Every structure is written in C-alpha cells, then in structure tokens.
Structure 1
Amino acid sequence: MTIYTGDDISIKSRIKANPFLKKIALRMLVPKNEYRPRVWVKWILNPLKHKRGKGSVIRSNSRTDLFPYNNFSIGDYAIIEDFTTINNAVGEVSIGDKTIVGIGSVIIGPVIIGNNVMIAQNIVMSGLNHGYEDVSLPPSEQPVTCKPIIIEDNVWIGANSVITAGVTLGKHCVIGAGSIVTKNIPEYSVAVGNPARVIKRYNSLNKCWESQN
C-alpha cells in the first residue's frame, strides 16, 4: 500500500488548483511556445524521477520529451532507436525488458509496453486525443482525453502501423505492416488492415496457427 504524506498531497493539489501557480510551474519546466522540457529538467530532475534498466540504450538522435510529473521507465536491455520520439507529458510511458522501439517511431503516453516487444520502424502509438466538438475553437485549444495503450509481452508490430488510444494488444499477437489498430487484439493472434482485423489465431490444442474467415 502506498502512503502519501500530507505535504505531497498539499503541494501537488495547490499547484493544480491554482491557475497562477500552475502557469509558473509549467513555465519553469517548458519554454514558451515549445513542447519539450527545459535542459535543466532533462539533466537534473528527470534522472531523479525516471528509471533506466541495466544495459538499456536510448540513441542520441532520439527525441525524449520527458517530464518529471509523469513516470517514464525503460527496462533491462531495451532499445530506443534513432529518430524516435517519446513523450510522457499527458501520461506515463513504460517500456519493458528487451523491448525494441524501431527507428522513427512515436510514442505518446499513456502507453505501457511489456517485455520482448518488437516495435518496427515508423510506428505511431498515442494515448492522447484532442477534442473537436466545440466548433468555435480549433482542436488544438480544446481539452484532451487520454486512454492508455497496453502492449503485452512478446508482441510484434509491423512497420508503419498506428495504434490508437485505449487499445490493448494481447500477448504474442502480431500486427501486420501498415495496419491501423482501433480495437483490442486478442492474444496469440495476427491482425492486419485498416481498420485491423484478426486473420489468424493460434490453436493451443492443435499447436498451429489457424486462419479466421
């Protein structure tokens, strides 16, 4: 059981409840008209908050827009390849052991990724959506909604696929290249297309992959 001290609750709640304090806190963390943390946040605050596993690699050409007010973790021997963007501004990003995040991918939290996951090149997964219902405002100025994406262990996501907010990919499922995944995909299955649909499932009794018509 986690025990929160009165001071922790008081400081966080006061900042969130007070627009002026919230504005000052954000300005200290984020430069005006930018969406990435200040250098001092990356160098001083983030190492104290975020967790990196043994042997993990984050390539220098990747863009890690990470903030200390949401969690970020990368497991043992996991790799974030070049030109990837990781952003936890609106939700946690967790990457499991021995998981590979391929070149040019974009991960916007909340996203929880398990162990031994293969994320190929140019994958986009975002747990964030902007509102659009109020036609008097552009979507960029409307409230955001967040639904976590969950990628379970041993999943393989093919290149140029998109995983939308709120989707869960079950254990050892495979997503074909170029797929748009808008609904949960069950474990031990293969899904392809736009929107993605299941075309194969593993039969544990027959120990083979069977086509789904």
Structure 2
Amino acid sequence: MFFDDERSNRLRPRILTEVVGQYLNDSERARLFGLPDTTRIRERAKIIDPERLEIGEHCWIGEGAALDASGGLTIGEHTSIGVGTLVFTHSSWLANMMLDNRPGSDLIERKPVRIGKGCFIGSMVVVMPGVTIGDFVTVQPMSLVAKDVPDRCLVAGNPARIFQRYDEEFIEAEAARVRAAREEYRPVE
C-alpha cells in the first residue's frame, strides 16, 4: 500500500505530523511543529519544509494558512498570518512550461520571503516568492503581495499597493482609541 522510495519516506512523517496536529490545541500544535511556545497555529494550517521556517515569539497562524518555507521563510515576532493565507517561496512555472514539472526539477525556482515583526497579514492574502514585507505592516484581506513592502504601512489590492503610512504617533493614538472604546463595553462588576 505504501511506496518505499526516498520521497515517500521523507514526506510520510510530515503527513503524520499534520494528521496528529488536527487533534491538538493551538499551543500543542505549535510545539509538535517545533515552533516557539508562544506561537499559536490553528487547525489545517500547513508548513512546507518547516526546518526552513524561522518564526519569532507570539505569532499566530490562522486556519488553512499554507506557509511554503522551501525557499526560506522568516516571520518576525508578534506577527499574525490570516485564515487561508498563502505564502509561496517557490515557483514551478518554468518547469511546467518546459514539461519538466517533477519532484527535484532544476527548473523549480526558490526565493526566500521575509515578513517583519508586528505585522498583520489579513485573511486570504497571497505572498509571492522573494518578497520582503517590512516591520509593522498591515496587509488587507484578499491582497496579492508581489513586490517588497516598506515598514509601517497599510497595503491592499491585487497587486497590493500602499494606502497609508504609519508613524509612532498614529499608532499610539489608535491604541488609545481602541482602549477607550473597550472601556465602554467592559462589563460592570
């Protein structure tokens, strides 16, 4: 029933880890995948080549996200990756065009992706190979990030473009606004 070849034997432990991971809570799943103890990884999230993933503390990875680390993937601390988001670090387009789309093809191109610290990557975002997303960036849901994004900005669209830049004063004002609104809804004790 099972193939006894190098590729199958290499992939099988990863598949079993994903299956077992479905029965764990977020923190247990993070530990199973070798992620920091403060990381929370939701159900059905997939990490391709987790040994090439560098992830900071206090990160959150949403349900159904697919993180391709085969070309190298770095995610900074306090970053959230939204539900159903796809991060690619490889492309097989040329292997397809040359009718050589097979495991190990020398036409599969790999480029590292870096996502900075303090980022919020919304749901259903696609990040293409070779992209660097700076620190403190918000990527709105359903955006396609195909080019580098500088620090402290909000991007959206297909392709994603900058809609707003953040400075420290803006962030502090927003934090005060959210905290004040939260106080209004706090239950009376």
User: Residues 56 and 78 of structure 1 are in contact (CA less than 8 Å); yes or no, is this contact kept in structure 2?
Assistant: yes
Paired residues for 1:1-213 under 5 Å: 27-28=5-6, 30-31=7-8, 36-38=11-13, 56-58=27-29, 73-88=34-49, 92-109=52-69, 110-132=72-94, 135-140=97-102, 142=105, 143-204=107-168, 207-208=169-170
Aligned length: 155
CA distance in structure 1 between the aligned counterparts of 2:98 and 2:116, rounded to whole angstroms: 40
CA distance in structure 2 between the aligned counterparts of 1:86 and 1:27, rounded to whole angstroms: 22
- Unpaired segments ≥5 residues, structure 1: 1-25, 43-54, 65-72
CA distance in structure 1 between the aligned counterparts of 2:52 and 2:99, rounded to whole angstroms: 28
More strand by share: 1
- Unpaired segments ≥5 residues, structure 2: 18-25, 172-189
Tell me which amino acid in the other structure corresponds to 1:199. Answer: F
Identity of aligned residues (%): 21
CA offsets, 1:140-177, max 9 Å, x none?
46421111110111100010000110111111100000
More helix by share: 2
User: Residues 143 and 156 of structure 2 are in contact (CA less than 8 Å); yes or no, is this contact kept in structure 1?
Assistant: yes
**TM-score, normalisation: structure 2:** 0.71
Structure 1 ranges of 4+ moved more than 3 A: 133-136, 138-142
CA RMSD of aligned residues (A): 3.0
